[in-house]
């Protein structure tokens, strides 16, 4: 019996169609199986308010099928630690990139203040601010110099170290985020022909008018008193020096070895006969 050619073509076409359909279904099944594979995802373990700085106590690393991961969901606790929430997050909700912001002027200073501390700002100049060499997250010591009189109106000047290892929260409005200079043209960054300051230097100088410090409530009172009744200066500490020093106040006797009373600079007393 002779098989006709059209019948062979029909059988071949049917077989190829079946083969393509099998391949398509197999690929779809593999894709669905991949979506069912577990993947890491960061979720909140409690309700989190807007403007909260995240740490590991607020977050949990869980697993969920890939198809249940929302776009932009974080997959590592390290990616979320230190970020600030821009919207409320409910317990059990996946942590999304779109709801977080890096610590900076936009997220605000309050999220950077350690628990139990307060932020207090001090005005600085080129000398007290060490020519702009103090940066956010540095540590400093605060010194205060007082001019005091006893009952006989004798003047004594003494310098005290009133606080040690104080965290610098901000310099001006710089909380530690780097300046974005990519958007500034090279022409603008160069100094002008008359020797004026570059735009970068002017921008940086705007961040160095005040130092904002993290102080305990008691230290806030002490520094505020010193600011209004004496002269405050600061000393930059090594980043990793831990132990505070036990320092006595310094007077003229300690500096020049002379026991007596100081007079104000440019002050002279003239007596007649």
Instruction: Report whether pLDDT(181) > 70.
Output: no
In a domain, 195, yes or no: yes
CATH number of the domain that 51 lies in? 3.90.1210.10
Q: Do 182 and 47 share a structural domain? A: no
How much of the chain, in percent, has pLDDT values that exceed 90? 12
Q: Do 95 and 156 share a structural domain? A: no
Q: Per-residue pLDDT tens for 23-49?
A: 777 777 677 656 568 888 999 999 988
pLDDT of residue 254: 76
Instruction: Report whether pLDDT(186) > 60.
Output: no
pLDDT of residue 6: 73
Q: Where are the alpha helices (DSSP H) in the chain?
A: 5-36, 77-80, 186-189, 199-205, 217-229, 252-256
Backbone angles phi, psi at 96, to 5 degrees: -105, 145
The candidate with the shortest Cα–Cα distance to 111, out of 224, 208, 214, is 214
In a domain, 238, yes or no: yes
Q: What's the structural domain count of the chain? A: 2
Q: Do 93 and 156 share a structural domain? A: no
Instruction: Report whether pLDDT(55) > 70.
Output: yes
Q: Do 238 and 141 share a structural domain? A: yes
Cα(81)–Cα(59) distance, rounded to whole angstroms?
A: 9
Task: Name which of 54-58, 141-145, 187-191 the model is least confident about.
Answer: 187-191
pLDDT of residue 220: 93
pLDDT class of 213 with cuts at 50, 70, 90: very high
Q: Do 129 and 82 share a structural domain? A: no
pLDDT of residue 188: 38
- Reduced to 3 states (helix: H, G, I; strand: E, B; else coil), residue 85 is strand
Q: Do 236 and 219 share a structural domain? A: yes
Q: Do 81 and 142 share a structural domain? A: no
Q: Do 120 and 206 share a structural domain? A: yes
pLDDT of residue 218: 94
Task: Spell out a b/e string for 55-75, using b for 16 or more CB atoms within 10 Å of the CB, else e.
Answer: eeebbeeeeeeeeebeeebbe
Q: Do 116 and 243 share a structural domain? A: yes
In a domain, 264, yes or no: no
In a domain, 262, yes or no: no
pLDDT class of 189 with cuts at 50, 70, 90: very low
In a domain, 193, yes or no: yes
- Residue predicted with more confidence, 212 or 107: 212
Select the highest-mean-pLDDT range: 30-44, 124-138, 216-230: 216-230
| Mean pLDDT calculated for residue range 178-198 | 40
Domain containing residue 213: 110-256
Given 49, 70, 101, the domain boundary residue is 101
Q: Do 220 and 166 share a structural domain? A: yes
In a domain, 29, yes or no: no
Q: In this structure, what DSSP letter does residue 198 have?
A: P
Q: Cβ distance 214 to 119 under 8 Å?
A: yes
Q: Hey, CA dihedral for 58, 61, 65, 66, is it positive or negative? A: positive
Q: Do 145 and 77 share a structural domain? A: no
């Amino acid at each position: 019996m002779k098989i006709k050619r059209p019948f062979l073509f029909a059988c071949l076409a049917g077989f190829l169609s079946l083969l393509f359909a099998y391949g398509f279904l197999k690929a779809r099944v593999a894709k669905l199986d991949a979506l069912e594979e577990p993947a890491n995802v960061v979720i909140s373990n409690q309700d989190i308010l807007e403007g909260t700085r995240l740490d590991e106590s607020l977050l949990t690393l869980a697993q969920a099928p890939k198809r249940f991961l929302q776009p932009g969901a974080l997959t590592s606790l390290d990616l979320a630690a230190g970020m600030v929430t821009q919207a409320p997050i409910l317990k059990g909700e996946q942590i999304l990139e779109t709801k977080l912001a890096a610590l900076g002027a936009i997220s605000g200073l309050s999220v950077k203040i350690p628990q139990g501390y307060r932020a207090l700002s001090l005005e600085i100049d080129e000398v007290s601010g060490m020519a702009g060499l103090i940066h956010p997250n540095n540590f400093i010591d605060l010194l205060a110099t007082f001019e005091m009189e006893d009952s006989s109106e004798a003047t004594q000047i003494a310098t005290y170290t009133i606080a040690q290892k104080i965290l610098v929260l901000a310099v001006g409005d710089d909380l530690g985020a780097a300046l974005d200079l990519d958007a500034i043209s090279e022409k603008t960054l160069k100094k002008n022909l008359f020797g004026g300051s570059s735009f970068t230097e002017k921008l940086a100088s705007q961040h160095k008018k005040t130092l904002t410090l993290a102080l305990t409530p008691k230290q806030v009172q002490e520094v505020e008193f010193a600011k209004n009744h004496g002269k405050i200066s600061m000393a930059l500490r090594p980043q990793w020096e831990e132990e505070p020093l036990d320092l006595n106040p310094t007077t003229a006797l300690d500096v020049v070895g002379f026991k007596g009373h100081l007079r104000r600079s440019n002050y002279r007393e003239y007596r007649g006969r």
